[in-house]
Amino acid sequence: YRHIRLLDRHNSPTTATLFVHAKVINMEATG
């Protein structure tokens, strides 16, 4: 979850951020 923590630091609630979150979650789920 290091990636999520870094995104939290930026604290930018944008569509791009949400997209990155979803992408990271998918990567975490796949392996």
In tens, the pLDDT along 1-28 reads 566 666 666 555 677 778 888 898 888 8
How confident is the model at residue 8, as a pLDDT?
61
How confident is the model at residue 3, as a pLDDT?
64
Q: Which of 28, 12, 31, 30 is nearest to 3 (CA)?
A: 28
